Amino acid sequence: MRFRRISFPISAVLSIAAILLFFFNGLNLGVDFVGGTLIEVQSKAGPADIAKMRANVAALNLGEAQLQQFGAATDVLIRIPQQPGGEVAQQQAAQKVRAALGNDVEVRRIEVVGPRVSTELLAYGIFGLLLAVCGIFIYLWFRFEWQFALGAMIANVHDLVLTIGFLSLMQIDFDLNGIAALMTILGYSLNDTVVIYDRIREMLRRYKKMSIADLLNISVNSTLSRSVITHVTVTLALLALFFFGGHAIHAFTATMLFGVVLVGTYTSIFIAAPVLIYLGVGLGRQEADEPAPENFEPESEAKVGAGAKAVAAKPGAAKPARAKR
């Protein structure tokens, strides 16, 4: 818990940086949210010549087309902006691109999204994300106390803000898969936080006299092995999907690796638990005589460190005077 004096300022700085990235750098919105045509092609004769392909597509006068290499050197992703004339014009643009590239490439996927559909998808995605956050808050309020619900919401918002900052910094495609990744990060991080909170509540009932910082340390340590095992197995699964899952889920797995492995694990231990100290959890407990847990080391003594132990171990060190009754 004493590391909260380091983790809180670091998280505050990173959150501010993520917000600034969102407003000034923006998100790389996918076709799902801005509309247009997405064409995935594969070169048949070795590595793709992106410069030549870009020149052929630019000659069609379809607007500012984007060509991006992904995965293997033969794979290219082509984005065509919205065309005037509705979905029919979008389909015609896709056919023109296919004809311009010729038989040297194989068209593997074509996705066409109209402007009205893209606007609805973006609105529904944001609404669903906000609804999930509100539902989690209400559930935790009934499941625990309001301090726990507020602490979990602070942790979840922290996860979302940093993940969105990561998406803006790396310019990863943000589409419906991105919304799904954010919701999955919410649920996964919350699951780990609830496990720790449940142990904290159990310890609050058992130890009425222990300081809240020491109680939180014991609670986190008692669930740490479970957290390590869970996060390692999830990381292995996500790495397999990231390297071998293909472009269709590349953005999803990249977002999950950052949000779940890096941010979610850190948040559950160094943000969600220490924030309860400032929310006043455990202040209304009754004073009572109670046995200390096994292998218990109070935080106040842990701060002293090895220096005090070395002094106490020196021969001839002064012994503390016995207190008078």
pTM: 0.73
Provide the residue count of the chain: 325
Spatial distance between the Cα atoms of 172 and 29, rounded to a whole number of angstroms: 8
What are the start-end ranges of the H helices in the chain?
A: 4-24, 31-34, 50-58, 86-101, 115-143, 146-170, 176-206, 212-222, 224-244, 250-256, 265-267, 275-278, 299-304, 306-313
Residue 169 is predicted with a pLDDT of: 92
Give the pLDDT band of residue 116 (cuts 50, 70, 90).
Answer: low
Residue 237 is predicted with a pLDDT of: 92
Residue 161: in which H helix or E strand, if any? helix 146-170
Of 311 and 41, the structure prediction assigns the larger pLDDT to: 41
Number of neighbours of residue 71 by Cβ within 10 angstroms:
13
Q: Average pLDDT, stretch 43-68?
A: 82
Q: Average pLDDT, stretch 226-230?
A: 87
Residue 320 is predicted with a pLDDT of: 45
Report the share of the chain in percent with pLDDT over 70: 84
Name the nearest CA neighbour of 255 among 169, 182, 318: 182
Q: Which of 15-29, 84-98, 234-248, 256-270 has the lowest average pLDDT?
A: 84-98
Name the nearest CA neighbour of 176 among 115, 125, 113: 125
Q: What are the tens digits of pLDDT across the range 174-210?
A: 888 888 888 888 888 888 888 899 899 888 888 887 8
